Chains A and B, each alone.
Chain A
């Protein structure tokens, strides 16, 4: 009898212990699950943020790669940076549509040979990646030093407003639009009014006319900004 009642007490005690353990376990399981959910949300936000930084870097590298190829007249390499359905508009020469036409246009430019200087420094990026991470826009500028031995030496400057697209994880140039600010003969400087921009290419008309017309220095023109003021949003 004594033994029996002892066993009953033990049994009840155990039951209580198990109940408490089970109740506690359930509660902490719930805590763990909500903590895991919070972590998942944070990690998703981090993935987006980290990707946006990587996208900025990739686009910056893409545009500087363009500049280094152009300097050395590597026209196929430059054309390969463009998306299949991209466009190119340089100065007032009209718009060339599609990668094949971009390539054909670029091959109209000089070849790299003795006496050719074709520097196009790609500077001062303002890059904005779209929230979906699939497109981006960038404002850049180029300062140019163009030389042909014993024939010409020029300074030039341009603003780019470019679009980019990410296809299969790779950023490509979707739209390249260079607005010339000035061209100046090295020996004349820019206060004399500057040189005219490169004219149409004989026998190779663009697919579309220039999207905007403007004059180079001494005229003044503000290429439209793809962005609002980063502080006021206006």
Chain B
């Protein structure tokens, strides 16, 4: 009798052990599902962040344009990283945010009779896989006016670099390649106007990085990207 009851206890316990073992297997399935979810979530985080980074950089460059239009030079300079560089046309390179700021303050002030439109258009923005730097090609379409003195069209291409510092995107390098300047009344078939020359008493920190000429000469600013379809 005793023997029998012990045997039945043994059977019950065995049943429980098997049950727990089976439950453990289920748990193992679950934890592998969780691992899979973790991987998917990590991939999604990178994807969602990349989209947000694109938007932030697009907004950053659009802000640059809106401030520039209105000659708000300190606001423009504030968009640059501390070690940011600026190269506009063939005027050479200004190095560091303070020098960028000083350069910008040599440009016109906003006052009656000044039109200084620099439309920021057609972005190709590529964010590095680590999400910390980015490069972009943009173009500007410009309308300049000085009342009773000048009206000009201008066009050019930017190849810019950006850096994310403490979660905020900043301009690391701004490089504007001018395509043409033309007098409004002459049009571009007359050969165009020369680009803005050196600033008297304010030499750049480094010479121009790429030499080229404006229209009627032709020049293709180097692309930061490969063909997005072929990768070549």
A46's contact among B24, B48, B113, B149, by CB below 8 Å, is which?
A: B48
For this complex, into which size category does the number of interface residues on chain B fall?
35 or more
| Chain B residues within an 8 Å CB radius of A43 | 41
Closest to B80 in A: A231
9 contacting pairs across A/B (C-beta < 8 A): A7-B3, A11-B9, A42-B41, A46-B41, A46-B48, A53-B52, A124-B66, A191-B147, A220-B113
* A182 at interface, CB cutoff 8 A: yes
Known: A11-B13, A25-B27, A39-B37. A124 touches B117 (CB 8 A): no
CA distance A80 to B184 in the complex (A): 38
| Chain B residues within an 8 Å CB radius of A128 | 59
Query: Are B145 and A217 in contact, CB atoms less than 8 angstroms apart?
Result: yes
* B62 at interface, CB cutoff 8 A: yes
Q: What does the 1/0 interface line of A201-234 toward B look like (CB < 8 Å)?
A: 0000000000000000111101001010111101
CA distance A208 to B119 in the complex (A): 31
* A101 at interface, CB cutoff 8 A: no
CA distance A47 to B170 in the complex (A): 26
Shortest Cβ gap from A83 to chain B (Å): 23
- Give A contacts to B, CB under 8 Å: 3-4, 7-8, 10-11, 14-15, 17-18, 21-22, 24-25, 28-29, 32, 35-36, 39, 42-43, 46, 49-50, 52-53, 56, 123-128, 139, 141, 143, 157, 159, 181-182, 189-193, 217-220, 222, 225, 227, 229-232, 234
CA distance A25 to B56 in the complex (A): 46
User: Binding site of B, secondary structure by majority: helix, strand, loop or mixed?
Assistant: helix
CA distance A173 to B129 in the complex (A): 35
| Chain B residues within an 8 Å CB radius of A182 | 115, 145
| Chain B residues within an 8 Å CB radius of A35 | 31, 34, 38
| Chain B residues within an 8 Å CB radius of A14 | 10, 13-14, 17
Query: Are B52 and A32 in contact, CB atoms less than 8 angstroms apart?
Result: no
* B70 at interface, CB cutoff 8 A: yes
Query: Are B63 and A191 in contact, CB atoms less than 8 angstroms apart?
Result: no
CA distance A141 to B59 in the complex (A): 13
Query: Are A192 and B148 in contact, CB atoms less than 8 angstroms apart?
Result: yes
Query: Are B147 and A49 in contact, CB atoms less than 8 angstroms apart?
Result: no
| Chain A residues within an 8 Å CB radius of B63 | 126, 227, 229-230
Shortest Cβ gap from A54 to chain B (Å): 9
